[in-house]
Structure 1
Amino acid sequence: ILSFTDYEKIPGIAYTSANYDLRRMEKLLLPLGNPHLETRTVHIAGTKGKGSTAAMISQVLIAAGYKTGLFTSPHLHTLRERIRTSGAMISEADFAALVTKLKPIVEKVNREAAYGELTTFEILTAVVFAYFKSSRLDFQVLEVGLGGRLDATNVAQANVCVITSLSLDHTEILGDTLAKIAAEKAGIIKPGCIVVSSPQVDEAVKVIRQVCQKQGARLIQVGEDITWQKTGGDLHLQTLTVKGKAGNYDLAVPLLGDHQLENAATALAALEVLVCLGAKISAQDVVQGFSQLSWPGRLQILKREPMLVVDGAHNAYSMSKLVEAIKKLFHFNRCFVIFGTSCDKDIPGMAKELKSLADNIIIASSSHPRAASASIILVGEFAKLDIKVDIIENVSTALSKALAAAQKTDLILVTGSLFVVAEAIDYVIKAGTADVSR
């Protein structure tokens, strides 16, 4: 499956129907019996928070007794993490069997190449739909891979479409304004569906409203129709009250950062829509589902002395929210930042946000093919910062040196991409030095 064209590893591919043609997905799925149309569907697009929101919705559905499939991307450690049913990752045997089953169909579609050749993500998405069909699910929760309009997941017919927080990311592919990005994300909105949107800037809201009007879709806006208030929290969880259309909910969410409260309110709004469409989800199911949530790599604490925090922030907006959360949640002396990102990201924008936080920045690259080399990052922007910058190509070596240099009162932050975060988590687990796992 990894031998095919993989746009996750090739930056800057034009986001056009010539490269992302959904008709080849339909040709691939037809011999499988159109499995993407079998199950009630929640479809989630957005720049930030879509994975967390998808996980929240899935966990509550599981708590309510529904057999639920969850498809997210990217993964931390293994491709199979992206595909889950009722919380359990697809087995190696099931994954291999489905890839084997799809092989002759993929080869036939590619031979004909009427709409271009299938990509790795498209084949993976077909594996997901086939697996979910064979699992006889009640619901499938699908996170968009890139954009929305031309994403492989967009062959599904969603009952509920969710658009999480939008900001500038993948600008060379999706567009350089929030209006253009919103138009691509809103491409998941189907005729007559119900749409839930996280709070957005006016530029994005205008586009989403226009698409909803065109498609005859009802729009629920979090922040207006659904509101929330933080009520407490510590370094393990935070509590909030969400005022939904059906009532108020007092929730405990084991994820840190104010942005996760917004994601929780967005997830709850989508769940209330599902109830309106016939799902039986009690208030207790909602409370239980949120409390049992696990979503690693997002403001995750791995160690306490020194404090070691990992987060997959990878654009200027998410980095600003991360820096804000770090300053608000933690008390520390010095801050060491281990930073690595993909070569197509807004490095200047992220560097600007980190400047106010970091006493020492260590540039490191993950082993992922799209990881920017340390020299490119350094020359590109970090050399301009009036703080100490070190270059260490290897994430594990960078983390080892930071842990050796840090005092108990210091904080180490690993960020820039989920790939860098995954390697940091692996290092800590293998070294046996983690004293916190959340």
Structure 2
Amino acid sequence: MPQNERPQNERPQNERPQNDDVPHGRFEEELGAILRSAGDGFEVDDRRELVAGGLQRGRRRLVRRRLAMTGGVLALAAVGVGGVYGGSLLGPGGRVATASVAAPPQAKGTKEPAKQAPFTAEIPLKDIAAVLQAHTPAGQWQFDDLEGTGQAVAGVYDDGGGKAGVTVGLYRAGEGSEAGKDQVTCPDEVVVPVDDCSTGTLPGGDRFMIFQGYEYPDKREETKDWSAVLLTKDGFLIDVNEYNAPAEKGTEVTRENPPFTPAQLKALIAADAWRPLLERIPGLPTKPGTGGSRPTTAPDQAAVQAVLRSLLPKDVTVTHSAGEDGHGYVVVDDGKGKSLVGVDVQPSAGEADAGLFTGDGVVILPDGTRAKYAQQPGEKGGEGVVWWNVDTLSPEGFRVVVSAYNSGAPYEAATRPEPALSMEQLKALALSPKWKNLPLK
């Protein structure tokens, strides 16, 4: 350990329960925080319980969609180290860096807001199932319990060609003119592999995306996930997913492809019969103590890219770049193979993220900045992939996270023994003062 770094002598946090929907190990706390934060994009206060069953699965899928499409460093780590983001992708409305990877801290001296009822529509589940059945080809359906109300249903469909799991969820996109646009934007294939993806606008102004991909980015199982999402011009989301297996995961593949063609998926989400159900979804609440939506403080996308490129070693060539406000990533090649390098910049991470910088492996630099360093296998990513990460948090709450892979994408096989940037280069990149001078949006 360098002499100017001293370890923080605190006990590690208790290990969190495992969950099939999040990767295990070092990234659990970061990913859990991302999921909570990204959930804010759906205007569900993280103090409220999400209703069980289909609604919870649907929201989790939409959150995973946001994480993968943003391409943020922590999201890339999750995808590369055992994530299950498959055809469930993500985008700008739930930017990892913009929203921060943790829920915003409560202001000191304020009272805890009163708990509120779950934010869910009272839509009869049998009505959602009825619209689904009426706008898909003839076949046998089996649904989860349709007694009661909610916003999503899950069923198993069989047209004689093999059982297929199908889910449909109805949601509000969130506040602002940009809300939900990430859900109808195709992902960058550096982050998520796709067989096909198309987007468009219907005559009435509603936007849609049709995605054909996989439940697991590294295709370690043959489960395909095809999805269709409609964003109505008045801010509703219709989200349909279908699989070539009876369930999203945990069951054997029963057919080559999911049952409904892209054209049939498009017709399904565009059906007028959804409108009476969407109108039963409550309006967006104002969160207690916020006075409305949170201001964004993400660094400008172009500025993040410019600084990232300026800090790269001179002997690498950038072959691909992408990102959103607050984060960016590049694929570089120094003549020895492609390497993915990404950065998240969070100017207002604050006290909430400080809890991630405790325990073994945390060092405190002379200026008070906390840092964590990691070098480990990509586990469930591409064959031979390793993931190197430098995570820093200044005393003022300014967080910079830098990651690098020894492949051009987390789900692809390694192209070289190690990432193109050394750990020392990644540390220098993360600790550069240039990040604090970025213009905010």
Higher helix share: 1
Please, what TM-score do these two structures have when normalized by structure 1?
0.29
Please, what TM-score do these two structures have when normalized by structure 2?
0.29
Higher strand share: 2
